[in-house]
Amino acid sequence: MLGINKNTFKNKKILIVGGTGSFGNQFLKKFIKNKINFGEIHILSRDEKKQYDLREIYKNKNIKFHIGDVRDKSCTDIATKEIDYVFHAAALKQVPSCEFYPLEAIKTNILGTNNVLTSSIENQVKKVICLSTDKAVYPINAMGISKAMMEKVALSKSLLNQNSTKICVTRYGNVIGSRGSVIPLIINQIKNGYPITITNKNMTRFLMTLDDALELVFHAFEKGTNGQLFVKKSPSTTIEILVNSLLKIFSKNNYPQKIIGIRHGEKMHETLMSSEERNFAKEDKNFFVVNPDLRDLNYGKFFKEGKKTKNFENYSSNQKLLGLNNTIKLLKKSEFIKNSI
């Protein structure tokens, strides 16, 4: 299942931070459906309604729930106690809301991550996987800046804290069906007969299914060493093609559309990897991995001669775009789309 052996987590205790979100839901669904062996799965979030819903769905005594907030270190101290592995998915993710409340993004995305990592190190967690976003690359909005700093905090912890806790970061783009993203919005508008609101038809976005996101995280879990950053190679398309693909899937012709303009803090194109990172990244068929810079601040002792670099482009969503048919094909792979039709 998604590159994970059924016995990898046998008798292990797992904590999913922000576990009532899209990632945590898919994580639980796949573990139960595929009968993955585990000791306990702990869910930490501040949303008691979503926790109640998950508890009712699974009714599993080995899935345990913690009400709390990553902003409170006493909470992360308790949640990480006796935990083997942590998957950190808690974040403020809405670009416009973070633009209006940037300090809230700092509290959750940066300081909250620091709490999760510090508690994990103190409680001798074996491995932490932090989930990041394409918006952290060349960031122009508060959400992206806070996630970029989240990555820096994670990588700093991996280097400065000589301990048994391994810390890795994963970075991915727009996940089909994730809460608050564009695809659920468009589908909701179609089902309720509202005009589809479009920011800019030429805007491009990476697309991946929740299974793709899980595959990336589990790949980092299985292969990652301390301080590494993992990126999954992902297709992308324009907003215009995305909208037309969804209209085809839902058999809607000549459906009304309304241009509303780019929202606060949005980019025309996203980037999963900077050209600077790509110069030093290793890649295979499906993934990039960026190793940490292991030098300390005494640069003189490392100097030999400049390392030759290639003129790589950044890995951007406006490169190698999917057409209409291939976008439809990708969308139909998503459980969210299947369940929405």
Pairwise CA distance, residues 113 & 167, whole Å = 12
* Selection from 331, 324, 96, 322 nearest residue 199 by Cα: 96
Handedness of CA 222, 225, 229, 235 (dihedral sign): negative
For residue 33, give the 3-state DSSP assignment: helix
Q: What one-letter code names the amino acid at 36?
A: I
**CB–CB of 79/44 below 8 Å?**
yes
Say which residue the tokens 């409340």 belong to. 101
Length of the chain: 341
Segment (H or E) for 166: strand 166-172
E-state strands within the chain? 13-17, 40-45, 63-67, 85-88, 127-133, 166-172, 174-175, 196-198, 204-208, 229-232, 236-238, 257-259, 271-273, 281-283, 287-290, 315-316
* Separation of alpha carbons 111 and 153, rounded Å: 9
Give the DSSP letter of residue 301: G
135 is catalytic: yes
Cα radius of gyration (the chain): 20
Between CA 24 and CA 47 the distance in angstroms is: 13
Between the alpha carbon of residue 134 and those of residues 120, 143, 174, 230, 233, the distances in Å are 25, 11, 8, 12, 12
Q: CA 119 to CA 272: how far, in whole Å?
A: 29
Catalytic one of 127, 135, 232, 267: 135
Q: Any bridge partners for residue 45, and if so which?
A: 67
The conformation of residue 279, written as its DSSP 8-state character, comes to: H
The residues annotated as belonging to the active site are 135
